[in-house]
A and B are shown apart, each in its own frame.
Chain A
């Protein structure tokens, strides 16, 4: 176990501190959480910026993500190649955006990307069906799911093109006061 003087250089820690919402102590805590996921894979010395990716299967076993139905999408959105395997930068980025200090717009942007399952920059009806199915663990029947999706599109689609763009999503999020408190992972 290295202490913070050997894991990161001073400049690296400063950079992390300036670019995320975390303080030095929290960054070190997150580093040790990352390291615990794959002790043989993650080096104890990050001063040379090693290119190490922890595979998605290990990320998905974290207690904060293990029971989240969207964990795969979260990992895909924040990983570099969209495949769910995360470097330390991706890991810090993910928890920084999901922390309570991130502003609403930033969270809304990433939430939109998470719920956009086919990555076409629109939340279409198929994306909505996937979301609702995951939320209810498949316990609503197909008719109910499509009814819910229809009502969601009715309510949120501002320009009536049959799908939600990022602007529609953000306008809807502005009306939801709970969004900041639910789209938040404590680490």
Chain B
């Protein structure tokens, strides 16, 4: 290795950086290391002067007990509590003050933690919640260890012994979570590993038991390594790692949450697509039905309308057969009979279609509810509304931000947030007049009425246009005319939010977060009501008018068209909303600010698109694949537009609350609505009689009933399944019972949470009482030492010990 050359570093300090002068230099040892240095300096300096203040404050023996607030009596000139050297020495060895400096304290606390773990691991092998605080509290100390003051080395040995008792995975988990430096962790790891080798060597003569333990160890190690390989493989598979890092670095966590939500939606669609591909699309593609008489030629319009050539492919419901598929038995040339093996496994297509769609929806539901509850649990805590200032100070700086202008924006945001918080606090002090309040209520009411009026107007427009489409003759024949309804819907979805934004400028809310939530609410109402009208149009009206045609294909095609139009309009909105606006504002209006990235609007677009996919899965099983392609393209388009044209939103957003809100919106109006639509279509609507897997049945659900009846006739061996079907699914009593039980469980949980909240309040009170007790005891200790000092014979001035009371030469023991 080359000798490191001596070189002088001249790293230029940024010229407009005011911090350089304010920070203490890292070489200023005395300031950085000795925390009591200041106090001790003060003491000795003050001891050299006349201690006149002490004479004033010197209380009598009984006066201390009589004083209510003892701590007030002993404040020094700067308001810092002043204590004698002996008290300071005791204070310096208090557990709460040694945790950061004494490694012995850390080691003993970690040792106690692993002891507890091992005891718990005997009952529960998985490692969970490893203790909340790093402060050693008296409860945690093992009683037989506590009376001895153990040396740091002994504690370390104990900790190593404990680590050896854990399994490999647990030990690694504990090591990673330790607040020690990496070098120390490596030493601990080394020490906790080597004795095992020694142990193995010592037991080498014993034969079989050592073989077993060796095998066990090597198995565990092999699994551990496999787990690591899988983890690194998964991380390599994680797409867009660098892109997400750049977005987070330039725009912060709030804009990043949109892209993370997009990734989540991709995962949901992939989860939905897999069973459909495996059980429906793949099988039907392997056994194509007889082609119809006339197949139209492929024109380019099919990509937009989804009809024409596409209508006779796996894309739509109508393609699927209603019979049991089996291997076609090609008659052998010599006229013999088909061998029995050529029959293959019969595949009941209607049943498979119904069950696969049902199971895919069920899996999606479970995954959604699970991720929503997990996200909710992480972001909402009991008592989380208080502590806003502390959270703004300690948790609002986003460490991911890496660009200078982005970090400047963060500084501005935090400053604005703190100023707003202070303003709210000051505002709350002033009383609001009745007149002002009435005016606010009137303005809010008016704006909400206008917005609901716009929603109603859009709804009526969509309804009347859909009725027009039904009534006008030949609208279903001309392919181009079919695009009219999706066009109208998309235009309304594009235009109404701008109107809402204009009206919201009148409202002038205090809190910017509330503004955003109100905007989300309004847009959501519009989109959901529009979709509701369209669902009624399809299932209520179109079924009637298309009685002798394949109405399911038509609904599938409508949804396809809506999706494609939605995608095109999103592209258009990105182009005009962001690119052109930036060009206009830079050239014409001469404003330097780029347009903000509208997180709420974009997320609602994603949720709307996903709702369309879920609505259409029954009628067009390949719709999730289209949604995946659409999301992939959208990621790159949005990312490019974001980097080129936008800036981060000025208002502070809470990233974790936002992802919870997004997932909840995805679950509640969106998925629930799609599930209701699906249930209605399966249970109540008569399928068309000329196409699809359910063409001979009254409802789609009948396919299941037919199969159950078939099973009943099959024999007594599978009689439990029809029994379950008759008494548990068709009967309403068990459903009522289960719902009542669930309600009872939910009520109990609510009561438990209420009780926990009360307990938290009581504990907080107890902590503050303990704090006061602590201060009281410290003052008592101080007074005891003071008395002892006073009664001690004075040392001669030649000694180096600074005395507290140099100004009283007349006192003697």
Task: Tell me the smallest distance from the CB of B371 to a CB of chain A, in Å.
Answer: 15
CA distance A24 to B232 in the complex (A): 8
Judge if B657 is at the interface, Cβ distance under 8 Å: yes
| A-contacting residues, B1-45, CB 8 Å | 1-2, 4-5, 7, 9, 11, 18-19, 22-24, 26-27, 31-33, 35-36
CA distance A185 to B211 in the complex (A): 45
A68-B407, A69-B397 given. 7 additional CB < 8 A pairs?
Answer: A15-B190, A105-B131, A105-B134, A116-B100, A137-B18, A172-B387, A176-B394
B415 is contacted by which of A63, A82, A136 (Cβ under 8 Å)? Answer: A136
Most buried by A among B135, B418, B654, B657: B418
Question: In terms of DSSP, what is the predominant structure of the interface of chain B?
Answer: helix
Q: Which residue of B lies closest to A159 (CB)?
A: B771
Q: Please tell me if the beta carbons of A175 and B387 are within 8 angstroms of each other in the complex.
A: yes
CA distance A57 to B4 in the complex (A): 17
Judge if B383 is at the interface, Cβ distance under 8 Å: yes
Judge if B764 is at the interface, Cβ distance under 8 Å: yes
CA distance A96 to B186 in the complex (A): 14
| A-contacting residues, B394-410, CB 8 Å | 394-404, 406-407
Judge if B331 is at the interface, Cβ distance under 8 Å: no
CB-defined contacts of A16 to chain B, threshold 8 Å: 182, 186
Q: Please tell me if the beta carbons of B384 and A177 are within 8 angstroms of each other in the complex.
A: yes
CB-defined contacts of A120 to chain B, threshold 8 Å: 35-36, 97
Q: What total of chain B residues lie within 8 Å of the partner, measured CB to CB? A: 99
List chain B positions with a Cβ less than 8 A from chain A.
1-2, 4-5, 7, 9, 11, 18-19, 22-24, 26-27, 31-33, 35-36, 96-101, 130-135, 172, 175-179, 181-183, 185-186, 189-190, 228, 231-232, 235-236, 245, 248-249, 253, 378-381, 383-384, 386-391, 393-404, 406-407, 411, 414-415, 418-419, 421-422, 425, 654-657, 764, 767-768, 770-772, 774-775
Q: Which residue of A lies closest to B654 (CB)?
A: A178
Q: Which residue of A lies closest to B376 (CB)?
A: A177
Most buried by B among A15, A69, A116, A181: A181
CA distance A23 to B396 in the complex (A): 29
CA distance A179 to B399 in the complex (A): 10
CA distance A52 to B1 in the complex (A): 12
Q: Please tell me if the beta carbons of B391 and A41 are within 8 angstroms of each other in the complex.
A: no
Q: Please tell me if the beta carbons of B132 and A170 are within 8 angstroms of each other in the complex.
A: yes
Q: Could you list 25 A-B pairs, sorted by A, with CB under 8 Å?
A: A15-B189, A78-B181, A80-B183, A102-B176, A116-B100, A117-B24, A118-B32, A119-B35, A121-B99, A121-B100, A137-B19, A151-B389, A151-B421, A155-B386, A160-B768, A161-B775, A166-B134, A169-B394, A175-B383, A175-B391, A176-B387, A178-B657, A182-B399, A182-B400, A182-B655
Judge if A115 is at the interface, Cβ distance under 8 Å: yes
Q: Please tell me if the beta carbons of A57 and B11 are within 8 angstroms of each other in the complex.
A: yes
CB-defined contacts of A25 to chain B, threshold 8 Å: 232, 236
Q: Please tell me if the beta carbons of B381 and A89 are within 8 angstroms of each other in the complex.
A: no
CA distance A2 to B414 in the complex (A): 44
CB-defined contacts of B27 to chain A, threshold 8 Å: 83
Q: Please tell me if the beta carbons of A84 and B26 are within 8 angstroms of each other in the complex.
A: yes
Task: Tell me the smallest distance from the CB of A79 to a CB of chain B, in Å.
Answer: 9
Q: Please tell me if the beta carbons of A111 and B394 are within 8 angstroms of each other in the complex.
A: yes
Judge if A142 is at the interface, Cβ distance under 8 Å: no
B419 is contacted by which of A70, A82, A144 (Cβ under 8 Å)? Answer: A144
Given contacts A19-B189, A137-B18, A155-B390, contact A178 B395 (CB under 8 A): yes
Judge if A110 is at the interface, Cβ distance under 8 Å: yes
Task: Tell me the smallest distance from the CB of A92 to a CB of chain B, in Å.
Answer: 6
CA distance A60 to B396 in the complex (A): 21
CB-defined contacts of A40 to chain B, threshold 8 Å: 2, 4-5, 7
CA distance A4 to B24 in the complex (A): 39
Contact code string A142-169 (vs B, CB < 8 Å = 1, else 0): 0010011001100110111100011101
CB-defined contacts of B181 to chain A, threshold 8 Å: 78, 80, 89-90, 93
Q: Which residue of A lies closest to B775 (CB)?
A: A161
CA distance A65 to B738 in the complex (A): 55
A72 is contacted by which of B26, B411, B771, B774 (Cβ under 8 Å)? Answer: B26
CA distance A24 to B228 in the complex (A): 9
CA distance A106 to B178 in the complex (A): 7
CA distance A166 to B95 in the complex (A): 12
Q: Please tell me if the beta carbons of B418 and A144 are within 8 angstroms of each other in the complex.
A: yes
B389 is contacted by which of A43, A83, A155, A184 (Cβ under 8 Å)? Answer: A155
CA distance A52 to B190 in the complex (A): 22
Q: Which residue of B lies closest to A143 (CB)?
A: B422
CB-defined contacts of A147 to chain B, threshold 8 Å: 422
The 4 residue pairs across chains A and B that have the minimum distance between CB atoms: A159-B771, A120-B35, A67-B407, A177-B379
B397 is contacted by which of A70, A90, A139, A172 (Cβ under 8 Å)? Answer: A70
Task: Tell me the smallest distance from the CB of B388 to a CB of chain A, in Å.
Answer: 8
Q: Please tell me if the beta carbons of A45 and B1 are within 8 angstroms of each other in the complex.
A: yes
A103 is contacted by which of B1, B177, B771 (Cβ under 8 Å)? Answer: B177
Q: Please tell me if the beta carbons of B182 and A179 are within 8 angstroms of each other in the complex.
A: no
CA distance A121 to B228 in the complex (A): 36
